[in-house]
Structure 1
Amino acid sequence: MPSSDTHGDTKQATAVGLTDLIRGVIKMAPSAPSMIKHAPGLIHRPPEAKRTIGSIFQKHAGAHPDRPFIRFEGRSLTYGEVNRRVNRFAALLSEDGVGKGDVVAILSKNNPTDLMVMLATVKLGAVAGMLNYNQRGKVMAHSVSLLDAKVLIHDPDCVEGFESIPVESRPPHVYDFAELDAAAEGRSEENPAVTATLPASTKAFYIFTSGTTGMPKASVMSHNRWFANLSGIGGLAVRLRHSDTMYVPLPLYHNNALSVSLGSVLASGACIAIGRSFSASKFWDDVILNRATAFCYIGELCRYLLAQPEKPTDRQHAVKVIIGNGMRPEIWDEFSERFGIERIVEFYGASELNLAFVNAFSVKRTAGFCPLPYKIVEYDDHGEPRRDEQGRLTEVAKGGTGLLIAEISERVPLDGYTDAEATEKKVIRDAFTDGDAYFNSGDLVRDQGFAHIAFVDRLGDTFRWKGENVATTEVEAALDSFPAVAQSVAYGVEIEKADGKAGMGAIKIRDGEDLDPKALADHLYGHLPSYAVPLFVRVVEDFEQTSTFKNRKVELREEGYTKAGDDAVYVLAGRDKGFVDYYDDYPADVANAKAPKG
């Protein structure tokens, strides 16, 4: 079985001991009443129950209308104010023909309207299609086509993304924020009657995730699965009080924001503070301005904060608990001590995955535990589960590293993607017994004992960078469409002390053509989200034949940017400078957030 024991992210992710768990349980004691309230929601969530995001939000609004719900740039909106505006939006959408199962496409950067449109949509039993505003061109057009929306609402700050959507692909009703407010003026502020009738099995929103096909897939989040975040992560692990404020610097199209953070807020009727965008230098200033007591993160965000010079605001905030994924084991203690964070609630999950792990017991350097059924199994050289002579899968030994798969059952259903064929490709059938079914996470994890795991790596052609999954086929398509490139191979490479894997492309230049590194960078920025533009480009003489192409790709990944021989290697300096010649300090500059710029 392939091994990843040397992977830097998990070297310090040691086994979880009984003493660690006992300490964690003792610390949880003051929160016991709230945890007992939420525990049933993790174990049993009937799909027919009349319980949705909209119903729990308006319940808080009815009980505590004057309590702050959204805070943005220091200004607060109460539950009552937001609910009234949400209801006006819902009334307008309903007049536009939006009902149960219909889709409202939302293209927006972080702001209160973004969140309120989502709430209005799900109150009607419709589905909020949360478009990634970094997408452009064919990728954006593809995402919009998957939604088949009745209404598109867009933020004026997303003009490039909006203009990427072909006119003929736009739905019949399109509003920018000003048009939306004007059209909703005077509409009913009463809660929509349909909200109380909606079962938990209703689809809530679509979250876009890159797949190995090279084009985004829309994963489905039902209200029922969203409530697993509310109960299991919010109620049992994060444990906010109604007086707390959760600061969200991540895009609202990201599940860490929309499911994990909002779920934690609505578990207790707390406040959500929306950051316009992440800035490492101004992060703590915005946290303090918005009076936050918690925030959500991805690992890269934490590393960027540590790379900043120390300053008084490092400890002048009120944050005591943070929730997210990707916290590197080697920076765990340093981050906690420097910024005075009492609890780091690391979790593991994915938009399409039917379970999650969460560090509810405050154990260090773990992605947490999961009470739902899963297995960690052996895998082959292509990242697929390995079957034995009887056609069955084999679990790794205790403490071992392997492919995580999650059981699919009536108790733990799979929402999957909008594309049924794409969903089926991720399902493993007859894994251990005839008729069983498991979802292939595509992720390598380490068993830490007591139902805890540590994340190790992403298997297959998709790698993770800046909190986003990047499909190598999408990067290759962008590289191949550059006139001077005859052929390309894309892959992820490790950078010491950096989270995830940075993109690298090996390219063969067409005969008679010269490579213009700046023009190549401009081309890639025009065809890819910024996080998907490769940081390294290696110019090769030729590639091996197609029959051994996958093996060559593995070799290129292993050679990375340090063993390229005589091949020219360029590195991304940013939008303004484009690609420049490789220099020895570049990996360190990336790790310290000094490159690329822009």
Structure 2
Amino acid sequence: MRHSDVITLPKILSRVPALLSNLPSMIKGSKMSKITDTRTPVGLAKGFQQAVRSNPGGVALVYEDRQWTYRELNAWANRIAHHFASKGLRKGDTVAISIENRPELVATILGCAKLGLCSAMLNTSQRGKVLVHSFNLVQPSAAVIGEELVPAIEEVRGELTLDADRFYFLADQDTSRNAGKAPKGYINLANVIQKASADDPDTIDQICLKDPLFYIYTSGTTGLPKAVVFNNGRWWKAYGGFGLAAVRLNQHDRLYCTLPFYHATGMVVCWSSVISASAGLVLARRFSASRFWDDIRQHDCTAFGYVGELCRYLHEAPPKENDRTNKVRVIVGNGLRPSIWTPFRERFGIDRVVEFYASSEGNVAFTNVFGFDNTVGFSPVSYAIVKYDKDQDAPIRNARGFMTRAAKGEAGLMLGEISDKTPFDGYTDKDKTEKSIFRNVFKKGDAWFNTGDLMRDIGFRHAQFVDRLGDTFRWKGENVSTTEVEQIVDQCDGVLESVVYGVEIPGTNGRAGMAQVRLAAPHAEYDFARLSDQLRRDLPPYAIPVFLRINEQAMETTGTFKHQKNKLKEQRYDLAQQDNPVYVMLPGERHYQRLTESVQAAIDAGEYRF
């Protein structure tokens, strides 16, 4: 930690004048983020309804060369809601959604929200067993599948627990103007909603704090993906906390979002910030570093959403004379590295970085309301950073059995207090929910959510992110469960045993996947091409291990039979620190190749863009 990163009283006071002009909206947003009345109508549908009334003719959504006003997008979503209602779907039912970032996804999510349906946001990278697990876990009453994801669904459709007449289809085109043709076995949603009402359904005022809005999938710390319940109350808090208090857009702003909507950063943080101001969402199918700034200029965007990897890719691109020729004044996201924070902001002329810290399932959040550099920001809720023993992989408890708070500047485990104001809604699996809770932390009977993240207190309720603990690491903006990857690797032909962990590659965000594997045959005779094909079939691209470390002996474990990962993480793929053969899947390659000293030197020098 740098001394300049410490937040002091003079620093706080220096920001007050700039915040005074936004004080009314910040106070309103803060009040919304603390709502506890379980009878008051809240949520995505309510927030969007208010935006329509505020700015009906304003641009709500832009995609490529098309755009929809708030009135038009509202009518589209209403037709979807009324159709689902006509088929017997009711508040609390779940609809599985698998569509890439495009207008049909936005309209479908909004339509479900208006009826009080819970949208299960399937990760569009999932395939095979992982997809089956995620789909069946939430027991959907219907599914809406984009044309681009039909092949993935068809591969496993026989294993999905949903009646055949409940699969809806949306063509990969502008279905608000041309419905297209659905394949056999699917109902064309764009066709069947054409005669449905375009008026707001009455159900909008019946959706309250605790009613579920989304299932967002997280790898968590163990096992296959978990479906996290994201209720309307949490969305309302983001709507107030991010939209009104922190990002602070206006009706003339446009926010560019390349982040997938199956993640909360894109769907909740970015979209709620837009809706709170009746502003415009400019949606991109996926991130492209080469097209990013051209899109920003073409659509007159004044804001964008990010994860750390996105900023790194943009920063690594060769400088151009027109880097500062853009209207962007604020960006919102998480994971911006301190090493590029200031250079990135100055290169592209960005006034404010609204960095935040939160998780889909967590009850503690930080937001950079005051606009300081190199911090996840300020938190108004009750949290604690406690001393943590990495070797024991557990918080340190004193002689009385209670945990101890870490000192200012000291890294420790971040916990969020579970209370009426900051509940922990948990997972679909009650056992997994309980495993995420620490009890009797500071006194008998208290309960705290374990974030699994190391954080550092830098003063005045501000924090810095340090690292992610346990059996999950973050790569390409995604959480990767080591247990999930191990299960897949262990099932591959010729693999006897594996242990998966994350390792740092210089100049990248997060940790790249690495697997130590024990093979049934000598590595020189092993079919690595077949292994690569099997991993691509069953794992999303970000979860495929970048490195393989070949171990001819039995895996080293602790007394409780846990794999010794700390030493493996420290040795990484460094050939100088081990005698084990190491293989790597380089960017753009489809198969593993033997790592050599020259290739390792090139990786460490940043010559390969992971």
TM range (shorter): over 0.9
Deviation at 1:25, TM superposition (A): 2.3
User: Counterpart of 2:184?
Assistant: none
**Identity across the alignment (%):** 41
Out of 539, 543, 552, which is 2:554 matched to? Answer: 543
Amino acid at match of 2:513: G
CA RMSD of aligned residues (A): 1.9
Amino acid at match of 1:399: G
Distance 1:352 1:198, change over 3 A: same
User: Counterpart of 1:122?
Assistant: 113
User: Counterpart of 1:475?
Assistant: 485
User: Counterpart of 1:148?
Assistant: 139
SS in 1 for 2:400: coil
1:569 matched to 2:578: no
User: Hey, what's the Cα distance between the residues in 2 that align with 1:164 and 1:415?
Assistant: 33
Out of 564, 570, 574, which is 1:552 matched to? Answer: 564
Deviation at 1:308, TM superposition (A): 0.7
User: Hey, what's the Cα distance between the residues in 2 that align with 1:593 and 1:533?
Assistant: 21
Which ranges in structure 2 are unaligned for 5 or more consecutive residues? 172-187
Amino acid at match of 1:420: K
Instruction: Give matches, 1:353-502, under 5 Å.
Output: 353-380=362-389, 381-502=391-512
User: Hey, what's the Cα distance between the residues in 2 that align with 1:590 and 1:300?
Assistant: 17
Give the aligned length.
587
User: Counterpart of 1:5?
Assistant: none
Deviation at 1:258, TM superposition (A): 1.0
User: Hey, what's the Cα distance between the residues in 2 that align with 1:160 and 1:424?
Assistant: 37
Deviation at 1:235, TM superposition (A): 1.2
In the TM superposition, what whole-angstrom CA distance separates every residue of 1:156-215 from its partner, at most 9, and x where no partner exists?
Answer: 112343224333515231111141100111111111111112212211101000023320
In the TM superposition, what whole-angstrom CA distance separates every residue of 1:94-141 from its partner, at most 9, and x where no partner exists?
Answer: 122211110011001100110111111111111010000101111000
1:182 matched to 2:191: yes
User: Counterpart of 2:297?
Assistant: 288
User: Counterpart of 2:530?
Assistant: 519
Are 1:48 and 1:201, in contact at CA under 8 Å, matched by a contact in 2?
no
Deviation at 1:521, TM superposition (A): 1.6
Instruction: Give matches, 1:194-273, under 5 Å.
Output: 194-273=203-282
Amino acid at match of 2:583: Y
User: Hey, what's the Cα distance between the residues in 2 that align with 1:76 and 1:402?
Assistant: 47
Deviation at 1:313, TM superposition (A): 4.3
User: Counterpart of 2:66?
Assistant: 75
Deviation at 1:592, TM superposition (A): 5.1
TM-score, with structure 2 as normaliser: 0.92
User: Hey, what's the Cα distance between the residues in 1 that align with 2:393 and 2:276?
Assistant: 37
Amino acid at match of 1:439: F
Distance 1:201 1:134, change over 3 A: same
User: Hey, what's the Cα distance between the residues in 2 that align with 1:587 and 1:531?
Assistant: 23
Are 1:12 and 1:330, in contact at CA under 8 Å, matched by a contact in 2?
no
Which ranges in structure 1 are unaligned for 5 or more consecutive residues? 1-9
User: Counterpart of 2:176?
Assistant: none
User: Counterpart of 1:105?
Assistant: 96
User: Counterpart of 2:539?
Assistant: 528
User: Counterpart of 1:18?
Assistant: 9
User: Hey, what's the Cα distance between the residues in 2 that align with 1:297 and 1:592?
Assistant: 22
User: Hey, what's the Cα distance between the residues in 2 that align with 1:589 and 1:192?
Assistant: 56
User: Hey, what's the Cα distance between the residues in 2 that align with 1:441 and 1:58?
Assistant: 34
Amino acid at match of 2:491: S
Deviation at 1:288, TM superposition (A): 1.8
Deviation at 1:27, TM superposition (A): 2.1
Distance 1:169 1:587, change over 3 A: farther
Are 1:506 and 1:540, in contact at CA under 8 Å, matched by a contact in 2?
yes
Deviates more, 1:515-524 or 1:141-150: 515-524
SS in 2 for 1:165: helix
Deviation at 1:48, TM superposition (A): 2.2
User: Hey, what's the Cα distance between the residues in 1 that align with 2:605 and 2:54?
Assistant: 47
Are 2:247 and 2:273, in contact at CA under 8 Å, matched by a contact in 1?
yes
Are 1:35 and 1:235, in contact at CA under 8 Å, matched by a contact in 2?
yes
SS in 2 for 1:43: coil
User: Hey, what's the Cα distance between the residues in 1 that align with 2:290 and 2:602?
Assistant: 19
Deviation at 1:589, TM superposition (A): 4.8
Deviates more, 1:480-489 or 1:567-576: 567-576
